[in-house]
Amino acid sequence: MRRIGVLGGTFDPIHAGHLALASAALEAAGLEKVDLVPSFSPPHRPSHRPAAHWHRFAMVVLATTDRPRLLASDREIRRAGISYMLETLRSYREDDTPAVPLLILGLDAFAELPSWREPEALVAEFDLLVASRPGVRKEEVLQGLPAWLRRRISPLPELSQPPAGAGRPCGGRIALFDMPPYTVSATEVRERLARKETIKSLVPEAVASYIVKYDIYGGGYPATGE
Ligand code: ATP
């Protein structure tokens, strides 16, 4: 069965940290590809009003055009409604060519997982790959986890193998791994735009041009200038 990574997020906008995370996960878990899945409507109300989902999706498409194994997925947008990750992961079973999805998360998102919809079902049914993120302390996150979540953490190499025991489906394992640090966040990109500062090097060039061309975050910013 094909193993593919699923990286969900608001992608408001997609940035270099998302791309580095997807690429690092691809290699770390020996995945065939990684789907980047912009949410239609995030379950937790963000502190700001996100850009329209079609713009967030378009930016993911632009950011991944020259990366053959990273794909923009519109499955949460097509489903509409609140974007619950458990539903998204289960939806892969209905595909014409079913694949086994592995959920990719940064450590900050992982720390929030207990507040997601049916988190115990999610971690029982699917494998998770959790990457380090600058400014988020691994030890603190681990200490704050409920026992039912902590006890599923296993060494990284295990994730690229099927679970021990004949016929056991993938799922139920969580691996943590360290990726090269990228301090960028979407909040930083939006804040820089608001201050009319450059976002060069934080997002791919095509995304920076798109933000300016369609004035995604308001104001006609010199997003690619110095
Ligand atoms: P915001 O600043 O608006 O909260 P964000 O930069 O955290 O956004 P999201 O779209 O919320 O981006 O994140 C999607 C996923 O990517 C999450 O699992 C998050 O942990 C991960 N992620 C985002 N940026 C990084 C980064 N720089 N390093 C590692 N993981 C990251």
Q: How far is the CA of 164 from the centre of ligand 1 (A)?
A: 32
Residue 161 beta carbon below 6 angstroms from any ligand 1 atom? no
Q: Considering the domain boundaries, does residue 187 fall inside one? A: no
Nearest to 34 by CA among 79, 77, 78, 73: 73
Tell me whether residue 34 is in a domain. Answer: yes
pTM equals: 0.94
Under DSSP, the state recorded for 199 is: -
Amino acid at 121: A
Does residue 67 lie within any of the structural domains?
A: yes
Each residue's pLDDT tens digit, 160-195: 666 665 555 678 999 999 999 999 999 999 999 999
Q: Ligand 1 mean position to 188 CA, how many Å?
A: 11
Question: What confidence tens digit (pLDDT) does each residue in 113-134 have?
Answer: 999 999 999 999 999 999 999 9
Cβ 9 under 6 angstroms from ligand 1: yes
pLDDT at residue 224, rounded to an integer: 47
CATH number of residue 117's parent domain: 3.40.50.620
Q: Please indicate, yes or no, if residue 85 is contained in any of the structural domains.
A: yes
Q: Which residues pair with 43 in a beta bridge?
A: none
| Cα 216 to Cα 155: distance, rounded to the nearest angstrom | 41
Is residue 73, in this structure, part of any structural domain at all? yes
Between the CA of residue 84 and those of 35, 43, 162, 167, what are the distances in Å?
Answer: 16, 7, 26, 28
User: Could you tell me if the CB of 184 is within 6 A of ligand 1?
Assistant: yes
109 touches ligand 1 (CB under 6 Å): yes
Does residue 210 fall inside a structural domain?
no
161 Cβ neighbours under 8 A, 6+ residues apart:
none
Q: Is the CB of 17 under 6 A from ligand 1?
A: yes
Residue 162's pLDDT is 65
Domain residues for the domain of 76 are 2-181
Residue 155 domain flag: yes
Q: How many domains does the chain have?
A: 1
Residue-level pLDDT at 219? 62
Q: Is the CB of 83 within 6 Å of ligand 1?
A: no
Residues of the chain short of pLDDT 70, as ranges, are 157-158, 160-169, 219-226
pLDDT score of 83: 96
Ligand 1 mutation pick, 7, 12, 21, 216, max ligand atoms within 8 A of CB: 21
How many Å is the Cα radius of gyration of the chain? Answer: 17
Nearest CA to ligand 1 atom 31: 106
* Tokens representing residue 152 in the block: 């599923």
Residue 207 maps to a domain: no
Write out the two tokens for 9.
């997020």
